[in-house]
Structure 1
Amino acid sequence: MNETTYRHRYGEGRTPIQQLANGTDITFTRPPATAATWTRNDFRDLNAGSTQTSLYPAHASLEDGVYIDDAHATFFGVHPSTRGHLEAGDTPLYVAPAGTVRGFVDYRVRIPNGRQSASSSVRWSLVDDEVAAVRLKSDDDVIVRTGGTHTPTLDYQLDEAWSTTLTLEADIEVRLQKETTVSIGNRTQTTTTYLTETMTVSDAIDVEVYNLHAYAYDADYPDGDTGVAIFQSRPWQGYTLTEDGDERVRGVWRFYTARDPRWDRLTQATATGETEIHSEALPVYVHAYPSRIGPRTEPLRDGPTILDSWGRTRSSPHSTIPDTVSVEVLTQSYTPTYGLAVRTDDLDLDALRVSGIVRGVDATPITSTVGTPRELRESQLTAEVVSQTTDQATIHIELRDTETGSPIDLTADDRHGSLNGESGGGYLTVADQRVRTNESGIAVVTVDQPGIYTARYHPGTWLVANPAYVSDTTTVRWHPLGTLDGWVGLLIEVVWQFIPFVVVFYAGRQVLRFFGPRDDSERYP
Structure 2
Amino acid sequence: MTASTLAPTARAHPPTAPDHGVNESLFPTLWSGDLDRFVNESDYRELTGESRTLLEVIANATDIPLDRPPEAVERWNRGDLRDVPETNQSVSIGPPTAERARAAYIEDAFVSIFAIQPSTRAHLTPDDTPLYVGDTGSVLALVDYRVDIRDNHTVDNVTYRWRLDSHQVQRVRLLVDGELENETLGSQTPELGFDELTAYPGVRHNLTIEADIAVAVERSKDECLERGANGTCSVWQNETWQAQSALTVTDSRDVTRYRLGVSGYETSYPNGDQGLELYMNRPWLGFETPAGTVRGSWRFYTARDRHWDSLRIDSTDGSRQTHSPMHPLQVYAFPMEGDPTVRSTAVTLLDSYGVERDAPELQPDVHLDVAEDTYTASYGLVVRVEDGSESSELIGTVQGLVRGVERPLSDASLATVPLIETELRLSIDSIEDGIATVEISLREAPSGRPIETSGRPGVIQIDGTTVDTGSDGTTVQQVPIGNGIVSARYVPEPWWRHTPGYLGDSDAVFASHGSIDIVNAIYQIGIPIGLLLIAAFLVDRITGIPIWPPWRH
TM-score in terms of structure 1 length: 0.76
Cα distance in structure 2, aligned partners of 1:459 and 1:130: 73
Cα distance in structure 2, aligned partners of 1:388 and 1:116: 126
Q: Secondary structure at the match of 1:188?
A: strand
Cα distance in structure 1, aligned partners of 2:427 and 2:288: 45
- Over the aligned positions, Cα root-mean-square deviation in angstroms equals 3.8
Residue 426 in structure 1 maps to residue 458 in structure 2: yes
Residue 379 in structure 1 maps to residue 422 in structure 2: yes
Cα deviation for residue 177 of structure 1 reads 2.5
Residue 331 in structure 1 maps to residue 372 in structure 2: yes
Distance 1:306 1:386, change over 3 A: farther
Cα distance in structure 1, aligned partners of 2:20 and 2:268: 53
Per the alignment, residue 319 of structure 2 pairs with: 274
Are 1:354 and 1:362, in contact at CA under 8 Å, matched by a contact in 2? yes
Per the alignment, residue 365 of structure 1 pairs with: 409
Are 1:214 and 1:366, in contact at CA under 8 Å, matched by a contact in 2? no
Residue 467 in structure 1 maps to residue 487 in structure 2: no
Q: Secondary structure at the match of 2:160?
A: strand
Residue 94 in structure 1 maps to residue 138 in structure 2: no
Cα deviation for residue 146 of structure 1 reads 0.7
Residue 211 in structure 1 maps to residue 259 in structure 2: yes
Are 2:396 and 2:410, in contact at CA under 8 Å, matched by a contact in 1? no
Residue 37 in structure 1 maps to residue 69 in structure 2: no
Residue 342 in structure 1 maps to residue 383 in structure 2: yes
Per the alignment, residue 356 of structure 1 pairs with: 400
Structure 2 gap segments, 5+ residues each: 1-10, 29-52, 228-234, 512-553
Provide Cα deviations, 1:426-483, integer angstroms capped at 9, x if missing partner: 34567887776555556899999x99998654433323412210233567999xxxxx
Question: Aligned to 1:6, which of 6, 14, 17?
Answer: 17
Per the alignment, residue 420 of structure 1 pairs with: none
Cα deviation for residue 170 of structure 1 reads 0.7
Provide Cα deviations, 1:293-318, integer angstroms capped at 9, x if missing partner: 4211121xx2211122232222212x
Residue 174 in structure 1 maps to residue 210 in structure 2: no
**Larger gyration radius, structure 1 or structure 2:** 1
Per the alignment, residue 170 of structure 2 pairs with: 132
Distance 1:387 1:184, change over 3 A: farther
Per the alignment, residue 445 of structure 2 pairs with: 402
Per the alignment, residue 422 of structure 1 pairs with: none
Equivalence map 1:505-516=2 (5 Å): none
Equivalence map 1:43-82=2 (5 Å): 43-47=81-85, 49-82=87-120
Residue 313 in structure 1 maps to residue 345 in structure 2: no
Are 1:158 and 1:209, in contact at CA under 8 Å, matched by a contact in 2? no
Are 1:83 and 1:286, in contact at CA under 8 Å, matched by a contact in 2? yes
Higher deviation after alignment, 250-259 or 152-161: 152-161
Distance 1:34 1:121, change over 3 A: same
Are 1:132 and 1:147, in contact at CA under 8 Å, matched by a contact in 2? yes
Look up the equivalent residue of 1:233 and give its one-letter code.
Answer: N
Look up the equivalent residue of 1:46 and give its one-letter code.
Answer: V
Q: Secondary structure at the match of 2:73?
A: helix
Cα distance in structure 2, aligned partners of 1:231 and 1:183: 84
Provide Cα deviations, 1:66-87, integer angstroms capped at 9, x if missing partner: 3322221111112222211112
Distance 1:407 1:5, change over 3 A: closer
Cα distance in structure 1, aligned partners of 2:220 and 2:346: 82
Distance 1:310 1:382, change over 3 A: same
Q: Secondary structure at the match of 1:36?
A: helix
Are 1:216 and 1:366, in contact at CA under 8 Å, matched by a contact in 2? no
Per the alignment, residue 285 of structure 1 pairs with: 330
Per the alignment, residue 280 of structure 2 pairs with: 232
TM-score in terms of structure 2 length: 0.72
Distance 1:427 1:49, change over 3 A: farther
Cα deviation for residue 376 of structure 1 reads 0.8
Per the alignment, residue 516 of structure 1 pairs with: none
Cα distance in structure 2, aligned partners of 1:350 and 1:373: 12
Cα distance in structure 1, aligned partners of 2:25 and 2:145: 38
Question: Aligned to 1:200, which of 236, 244, 248?
Answer: 248
Cα distance in structure 2, aligned partners of 1:233 and 1:373: 20
Look up the equivalent residue of 1:217 and give its one-letter code.
Answer: Y
Cα distance in structure 2, aligned partners of 1:282 and 1:97: 26
Cα distance in structure 2, aligned partners of 1:222 and 1:439: 26
Distance 1:53 1:406, change over 3 A: same
The number of aligned residues is: 459
Distance 1:461 1:11, change over 3 A: closer
Distance 1:222 1:52, change over 3 A: same
Provide Cα deviations, 1:149-181, integer angstroms capped at 9, x if missing partner: 110122331252544211111111111222222
Cα deviation for residue 226 of structure 1 reads 1.6
Cα deviation for residue 208 of structure 1 reads 2.1
Are 1:216 and 1:365, in contact at CA under 8 Å, matched by a contact in 2? no
Are 1:6 and 1:13, in contact at CA under 8 Å, matched by a contact in 2? no
Q: Secondary structure at the match of 1:314?
A: strand
Cα distance in structure 2, aligned partners of 1:447 and 1:270: 94
Look up the equivalent residue of 1:31 and give its one-letter code.
Answer: P
Q: Secondary structure at the match of 2:371?
A: coil
Question: Aligned to 2:299, which of 254, 273, 296?
Answer: 254
Cα deviation for residue 220 of structure 1 reads 1.3
Cα deviation for residue 26 of structure 1 reads 1.6
Structure 1 gap segments, 5+ residues each: 414-424, 479-525
Cα deviation for residue 407 of structure 1 reads 4.0
State percent identity of aligned pairs: 34
Are 2:91 and 2:313, in contact at CA under 8 Å, matched by a contact in 1? yes
Look up the equivalent residue of 1:295 and give its one-letter code.
Answer: P
Per the alignment, residue 191 of structure 2 pairs with: 153
Distance 1:437 1:188, change over 3 A: farther
Q: Secondary structure at the match of 1:311?
A: strand
